[in-house]
Amino acid sequence: MANFFRDNDDIQFLFKHLDLENIAGYSEEGFKYAGQCDYAPADGAEARKNYEMVLDALGQVSGDFIAPRSEGIDREGNTLNPDGTVSYAKGIAESLNALAKMDVMGFTLPYRFGGLNFPNTIYSIAIEIVSRADASLMNIFGLQGIAETINFFADEDIKKHYLPDFSSGKVTGAMVLTEPDAGSDLQAVKLRAFQDDSGQWYLHGVKRFITNGCGEVLLVLARSEMDRSGGLGLSLFVCDRGPTVHVRRLEDKLGIHGSPTCELFFDNTPCQLIGERQRGLVTYVMSLMNGARIGIAGQSMGIAEAAYRIARDYAHSREQFGGAIEKLPAVRDLVIKMKMDIEAGRALLYETSRIVDFEVGLSKIAEGPNAEANKEAAKEAKQQLKKIKRLAAMLTPMSKGYCSEMCNRVTYDAIQVLGGSGYMRDYASERLARDARITTIYEGTTQLQVVAAVRGVCAGTAEKYLDELASMQYCDEVKDLVALLDEGRKTMVDCAAFVKEQGVDYMDLYGRQLVDIAMWLIIGYLFCGQASSRAEHNAAVADSGQADAIKTIPMTERKKMLARRWVTRNAPMIRALAEEIKAGDRSSFRQYEILAGPIPELG
């Protein structure tokens, strides 16, 4: 019996390594719900047990029930019925039903609405587990941010109407943002929101590329102020799927076939305003998209983990030239890089999720209903919140950018390890590669993630965060690695100062190089922290000298090896990127037409 939580040594190690007690303290608001709500923990240790129990059950369902259906789902896809409704692939419907029965469709929602009240860190682990089983299912399971947005910003009546049904799995939702002429640039949204004489709101217009657009609850970004262009003319609305919402088509896609992507037409659809007018994009959708970006990072992790496992097994069992192909140095190096990059992404994602949990928890203290009664605590929380918000705003696009790009590399390399077999449908590798491709595109392309993240690097957020990481206590075996990282930190600060002097265009031109340096350093410190962890966990790893000999060593010992390889191999790359950044080459601006060549005729 497969269990996608228990069989992952790195997740098991990190679950013990993570400071879940403090995270739970924020999520449970000082454990005030103990005794008031079923299953509410009384302390951090009890919360950790609750998290482990749910993840264990989810891992079992993902391995035994969801994963075996994924291939059939990919081939069957979804069906647009003559009456405009959409039928899921049989396996998707069955898997959603299984998740609903587990009560995990309200993962982060409050107890009072039937939710688990779990932190984002645990939700990220859950998303990875489900995505490893079926990436397309995650696109529905992972849309719980819609319910979170309603919980954060809607009035009480709207919350009571929608959130219990989300938690029970009776409804699914959709983020209805993109339009034919408003993809990445949501300020260009044109779908109209208007009121009748009684004050009732209605929606009219077209939306495109809507994941699970056939869901029962639609969160819609629309232009409520027709006399205002840009983001300040936009508000956020919620509506039910009904006779005035028409699914005009299902997109014919490269991958994630089990997740319906719809084009919608709203024909004067009645709706309700979420929060305040004109804050739809700047406040509400940005919050929604930040959560969605962490979700895509988790999805990327699951896809990459699934692809790596196929490649690792194949490299060990496939014999060529008188032995297993993993004995070939080129294959061996490729497999190691896949594994190392996956663990790097996981380290960055879980750290980002932890920071987001702190941001949410501090926001409740600083801005929640009890802020007036606890002014001193609220004041202190506000001071911490400023720093945490800046850090979360930088780490979120970093995580989405790194994990999605890594996922595409790993699935590409997995096919390479399998050779011709990987290109065929005999293995899941080709499906995983197709599923991976969208992760660098939706919820903001990698290029947009870089634009968002580089602001944090150049504004000093990365420098302050790295200073904090550098000041932590590390074991003696990685002290030389920390010294290398400290050198890289000085290089990054120097590059950031240079880029700022060159102007915004230059910052965006070399943003990818600067963000890569910052990410590699952050991950390096995180790996050194894992190597210094006191979390007791052993894992079976292959002896590099004898492929068939397995010995059990402490996971922290393996992490020391991993940290050393990561830091020493990235140190010269950081220096090379720094040289590129400081070379001052502006040919992309000055010689674009010449270097890119004339616009070709398409035919």
Q: Write the pLDDT tens digit of every residue in 23-71.
A: 999 999 999 999 998 889 999 999 999 999 999 999 999 999 999 999 9
Q: Scanning the structure block, which residue is given the tokens 């979390």?
A: 535
Q: Scanning the structure block, which residue is given the tokens 């011709």?
A: 420
Predicted confidence (pLDDT) at residue 316 exceeds the cutoff of 80: yes
Contacts of 568-572 spanning 24+ positions with Cβ under 8 A: 568/481, 568/484, 570/488, 570/520, 570/524, 571/484, 571/487, 571/488
Residue type, 416: Q
Predicted confidence (pLDDT) at residue 124 exceeds the cutoff of 80: yes
**What is the residue range of 572's domain?**
445-595
Q: Do both 162 and 298 map to the same domain?
A: yes
Q: Do both 579 and 470 map to the same domain?
A: yes
Confidence of residue 550 (pLDDT cuts 50, 70, 90): very low
Q: Do both 187 and 266 map to the same domain?
A: yes
Measured between alpha carbons, how far is residue 125 from residues 12, 18, 59, 260, 485 in Å?
Answer: 10, 12, 10, 24, 28
Predicted confidence (pLDDT) at residue 9 exceeds the cutoff of 70: yes
Q: What is the mean pLDDT of residues 553-578?
A: 95
Q: Do both 404 and 549 map to the same domain?
A: no
How far is CA 253 from its chain centroid?
21
- Contact, 187 vs 281, CB < 8 A? yes
Predicted confidence (pLDDT) at residue 176 exceeds the cutoff of 50: yes
Q: Do both 288 and 257 map to the same domain?
A: no
1 belongs to a structural domain: no
Confidence of residue 553 (pLDDT cuts 50, 70, 90): low
Q: Scanning the structure block, which residue is given the tokens 């102020």?
A: 225
Predicted confidence (pLDDT) at residue 1 exceeds the cutoff of 80: no
∠ at Cα 374 (369, 377), nearest 5°? 110
The C-alpha atoms of residue 439 and residue 462 are separated, in whole angstroms, by 24
Give the CATH number of the domain where residue 414 resides.
Answer: 1.20.140.10
Give the CATH number of the domain where residue 449 resides.
Answer: 1.20.120.470
Q: Do both 416 and 290 map to the same domain?
A: yes
Average pLDDT, the chain: 94
Q: What is residue 139's predicted lDDT score, i.e. its pLDDT? A: 95
Predicted confidence (pLDDT) at residue 171 exceeds the cutoff of 50: yes
Predicted confidence (pLDDT) at residue 545 exceeds the cutoff of 60: no
499 belongs to a structural domain: yes
Torsions phi, psi for 43 (to 5 deg): -160, 180
From 227, 246, 280, the end of a domain falls on 280
Predicted confidence (pLDDT) at residue 537 exceeds the cutoff of 80: no
4 belongs to a structural domain: no
Q: Do both 255 and 305 map to the same domain?
A: no
From 228, 256, 280, the end of a domain falls on 280
601 belongs to a structural domain: no
Q: Lowest mean pLDDT: which of 56-70, 289-303, 377-391, 516-530?
A: 377-391
264 belongs to a structural domain: yes
Predicted confidence (pLDDT) at residue 539 exceeds the cutoff of 60: no
* pLDDT tens, position by position, 334-376: 999 999 999 999 999 999 999 999 999 999 999 877 777 788 8
Q: What is the mean pLDDT of residues 551-564?
A: 86
3 belongs to a structural domain: no
From 391, 421, 438, the end of a domain falls on 438
In 3D space, the residue among 241, 216, 225 whose CA is nearest the CA of residue 192 turns out to be 225
Q: Do both 302 and 358 map to the same domain?
A: yes
Give the CATH number of the domain where residue 188 resides.
Answer: 2.40.110.10
Confidence of residue 185 (pLDDT cuts 50, 70, 90): confident
How far is CA 328 from its chain centroid?
34
Written as six digits, the tokens of 173 are 């939702």
The C-alpha atoms of residue 442 and residue 440 are separated, in whole angstroms, by 6
2 belongs to a structural domain: no
Q: Lowest mean pLDDT: which of 87-91, 204-208, 361-365?
A: 361-365
Q: Do both 273 and 285 map to the same domain?
A: no
Q: Do both 256 and 338 map to the same domain?
A: no
- The larger pLDDT score, comparing residue 90 to residue 185, is at 90
End-to-end CA distance of the chain: 53
Q: What is the mean pLDDT of residues 240-252?
A: 96
Q: What is the mean pLDDT of residues 412-430?
A: 97
In the DSSP assignment, the letter for residue 111 is G
602 belongs to a structural domain: no
In 3D space, the residue among 468, 469, 457 whose CA is nearest the CA of residue 498 turns out to be 457
The C-alpha atoms of residue 362 and residue 25 are separated, in whole angstroms, by 11
Q: Do both 314 and 394 map to the same domain?
A: yes
Confidence of residue 497 (pLDDT cuts 50, 70, 90): very high
Q: What is residue 542's predicted lDDT score, i.e. its pLDDT? A: 35
Instruction: Using a pLDDT cut of 70, give the percent of the chain over it.
Output: 97
- Contact, 150 vs 115, CB < 8 A? no
Q: Do both 495 and 561 map to the same domain?
A: yes
Predicted confidence (pLDDT) at residue 543 exceeds the cutoff of 60: no
**Phi-psi label, residue 584: left if phi above 0, alpha if psi -120 to 50, beta otherwise:** left
Predicted confidence (pLDDT) at residue 538 exceeds the cutoff of 60: no
What is the value of pTM for the model shown?
Answer: 0.95
Q: What is the tally of structural domains in the chain?
A: 3
